[in-house]
């Protein structure tokens, strides 16, 4: 370790404070390490918010036989336990299948292993290999064998392949269905499109060994009617017997008129007084009237 550079801690701190734009962001001295001959780096703790684990690095050097240290560079660097942002990944490499939206456009991949020019030998190892030429379509590139095989494997193990629940439950495969439209080219023997509007796979590419419940040749057994029989059956065990006489007494009790209420005490006294007066007026007539025996006497 160079003694002159190792002792120049104050010079290194001043450089770190100048870069940090404030002494409050420079912490304690963490150590020194020698990079090369007469080239030493001092490390200071960083106290800035959001920079956990980062350090201020100040590199000092001196000329041969010189007794004064000079600052080479000073900057903020991450330590082993520093909080770092994730590595940058270009958008073209970050986007995955299924992320594409209607307003998005994928960049062109010039070296795409799944594609090849429209006029090229399918297998250069064989001299008699057939050339590929998309007549009348005007496509610059066509699907390469690698891209075709990748798509076939992906479709075969997907939701429209032979391992789908509907295919396992189906009694017949799509290859025998009238709504199955085979693809053209090399995939004709493995895949096709479904054109049955009643099928959950309508408009989808399906494997020849896929299947569903909307197959054109399948049928179900005729089931018996669910309407009740002509002679209904009554469950007499659930009937609770009741007495008809008791029911009639209850109806008569409900229909009987309510009894008249007795008059109030005041009304009863008035009625008695009226009866006494009537008796006084009629009693003399009964006494004064002579009987036939009295007249004869």
Q: Is residue 70 part of a domain?
A: yes
For residues 166 and 137, membership in a common domain is answered with: no
Q: Is residue 97 part of a domain?
A: no
Which pLDDT belongs to residue 129? 46
What is the rounded distance in angstroms from the CA atom of residue 40 to the CA atom of residue 37? Answer: 8
173-203 pLDDT tens trace? 999 999 999 998 888 899 999 999 999 999 9
Residues forming beta bridges with residue 78, ordered by sequence position:
54
What is the rounded distance in angstroms from the CA atom of residue 61 to the CA atom of residue 65? Answer: 12
Q: What are 86's two structure tokens?
A: 């994730």
For residues 119 and 152, membership in a common domain is answered with: no
What is the rounded distance in angstroms from the CA atom of residue 4 to the CA atom of residue 11? Answer: 11
Q: Is the distance from CB of 10 to CB of 23 less than 8 angstroms?
A: no
Q: In this structure, is the dihedral angle defined by the CA atoms of residues 193, 195, 200 and 204, taken in order, positive or negative?
A: positive
Final residue belonging to a domain, choices 124, 143, 162: 143
Strands across the sheet with 180-182, in order? 180-182, 191-194, 205-207
Closest alpha carbon to 132 in 146, 147, 118: 118
Final residue belonging to a domain, choices 57, 78, 99: 78
Final residue belonging to a domain, choices 143, 164, 193: 143
Q: Is residue 96 part of a domain?
A: no
Residues with pLDDT less than 50, the chain: 121, 126-132, 134, 136, 282-297
44-88 pLDDT tens trace? 999 999 888 899 999 999 888 888 888 999 999 998 888 888 888
Which pLDDT belongs to residue 253? 65
**169: domain range?**
146-207
Instruction: Give the contacts of 75 (CB within 8 A, at least 6 positions apart).
Output: 19, 56, 57
Our count of domains for the chain comes to: 3
What is the rounded distance in angstroms from the CA atom of residue 218 to the CA atom of residue 47? Answer: 75
């Amino acid at each position: 370790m160079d003694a002159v550079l190792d002792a120049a801690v104050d010079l290194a701190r001043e450089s770190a404070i100048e870069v940090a734009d404030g002494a409050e962001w420079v912490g304690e001295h963490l150590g020194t390490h020698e990079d090369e001959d007469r080239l030493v780096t001092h490390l200071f703790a960083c106290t800035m918010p959001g920079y956990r684990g980062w350090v201020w690095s100040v590199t000092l050097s001196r000329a041969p036989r010189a007794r004064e240290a000079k600052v080479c560079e000073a900057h903020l660097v991450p330590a082993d336990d520093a909080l770092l942002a994730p590595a940058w990944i270009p958008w073209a490499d970050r986007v995955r299948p299924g992320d594409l939206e209607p307003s998005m456009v994928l960049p062109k991949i010039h070296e795409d292993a799944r594609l090849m020019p429209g006029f090229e030998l399918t297998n250069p190892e064989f001299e008699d290999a057939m050339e590929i030429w998309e007549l009348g379509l005007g496509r610059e590139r066509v699907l390469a064998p690698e891209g075709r095989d990748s798509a076939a494997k992906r479709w075969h193990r997907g939701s429209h392949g032979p391992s789908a629940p509907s295919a396992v439950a189906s009694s017949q495969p799509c290859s025998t269905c009238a709504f199955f439209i085979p693809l053209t080219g090399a995939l004709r023997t493995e895949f096709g499109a479904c054109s049955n509007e009643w099928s959950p796979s309508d408009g989808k590419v399906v494997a020849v060994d896929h299947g569903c419940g909307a197959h054109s040749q399948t049928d179900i057994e005729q089931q018996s009617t669910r309407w009740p029989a002509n002679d209904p059956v009554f469950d007499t065990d659930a009937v609770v017997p009741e007495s008809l006489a008791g029911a009639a007494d209850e109806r008569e009790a409900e229909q009987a008129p309510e009894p008249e209420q007795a008059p109030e005490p005041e009304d009863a006294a008035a009625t008695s007084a009226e009866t006494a007066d009537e008796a006084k007026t009629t009693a003399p007539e009964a006494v004064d009237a002579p009987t036939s025996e009295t007249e004869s006497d």
